[in-house]
Amino acid sequence: MLTDALIAGLTLGGMYALLAMGLTLQYGVARIMNLSYGELLVSGAFAAHWLFTVAGIAPLAALLLVVPAAFALSWLIYRVLLTPLVRRAPNREALEVDTILATFGLLFVVQGVLLVMFGGAYYSYSFFAVPVHLPGATVAANRLLALGFAVVVGALLYLGLTRTRLGTAIRAVAVDPVAAQLVAIDVRVAAAFAFALGGGLVACGGVLVSMFLTFNANLGVVFTMKALIVVIMGGVGNLLGALIAGLILGLTETFVATWIDPGLTLAATYAIFLVTLLVRPQGLFGIGRR
């Protein structure tokens, strides 16, 4: 039971960490508070479902289609919808308010499109659902696969951001967009790239999640919420913090669902959020930023 919960929690936590990494790129680097973030996850999940059941493409192969598509779509959203707001905003606070409002509208548009296309029913498909026997627990192979992929993608992202020139530029923009310009970093390109990368990550998360969770068109809001909480908990812009916070959240939720009541998982999420706000609002590893 304990091992079961641990593995389920780690898988879920890995997903949350992946989502939070994408969101922290969008919020920390591009300075866009994206409330429609989870909608792209649900879109990715539906795309994987459609590709698997209709076209017979395995979810892992679907990643090769879905992630670039989500990257391109996010880039487009940034260029067309969000750049005018970035130009219009006199300061960071005003941009935050504007992007919150614009993406809140986008949330309802995307959700509406998904509802028209797929209805409100829950979807799932059976992929690679063979039991794997581990010491003390039996797990479906698709969960382990999802976790493995999340780890690989997360590691690649981390290395890409810390070891490459573009990654360094992105981190510089996260620290200080004005100073980044002074060292010849094109802030707008870096921000658009970070936003699109975040979109690619969340769609990847959507495909992985669809392999082992049931999902419906209304689930986006909850995922956005959890990703936001993980970002705050880990410290905005902190990838390692997002990883640890994601695992904490995933484990807590699974433990609450296993031993207390599955109906109280969101309450557990909020309890963690509340404690974070009261004790360490700058995040576990955040620097004192009021």
Residues forming the site for other proteins (CB under 8 A): 33, 35, 81, 84-85, 88, 90, 93-94, 96-98, 100-102, 104-113, 115-116, 221-222, 224-225, 228-229, 232, 261, 263-264, 266-267, 269-270, 273-274, 277-278, 281, 290
Q: Tell me how far, at minimum, the Cβ of 195 lies from other proteins, in Å.
A: 17
Q: Which of residues 77 and 153 has its CB atom nearest to other proteins in the complex?
A: 77
Q: Which of residues 69 and 85 has its CB atom nearest to other proteins in the complex?
A: 85
Strand ranges inside 94-231, DSSP E: 131-134, 137-140
Q: Tell me how far, at minimum, the Cβ of 101 lies from other proteins, in Å.
A: 5
Q: Which of residues 63 and 236 has its CB atom nearest to other proteins in the complex?
A: 236
Q: Tell me how far, at minimum, the Cβ of 290 lies from other proteins, in Å.
A: 7
Q: Tell me how far, at minimum, the Cβ of 229 lies from other proteins, in Å.
A: 7
What are the Cα distances from residue 9, in Å, to 15, 130, 160, 253? 10, 19, 27, 7
Q: Report the alpha-carbon distance of residue 150 to residue 201 in Å, rounded.
A: 10
Q: Which of residues 63 and 227 has its CB atom nearest to other proteins in the complex?
A: 227
Q: Report the alpha-carbon distance of residue 42 to residue 63 in Å, rounded.
A: 14
Q: Report the alpha-carbon distance of residue 87 to residue 95 in Å, rounded.
A: 9
Cα radius of gyration (the chain): 19
Distance of CA 203 to the CA centre of its chain: 8
Q: Tell me how far, at minimum, the Cβ of 100 lies from other proteins, in Å.
A: 6
Query: DSSP letters along 165-192, please?
Result: HHHHHHHHHHH-HHHHHHTT--HHHHHH
Q: Which of residues 58 and 274 has its CB atom nearest to other proteins in the complex?
A: 274
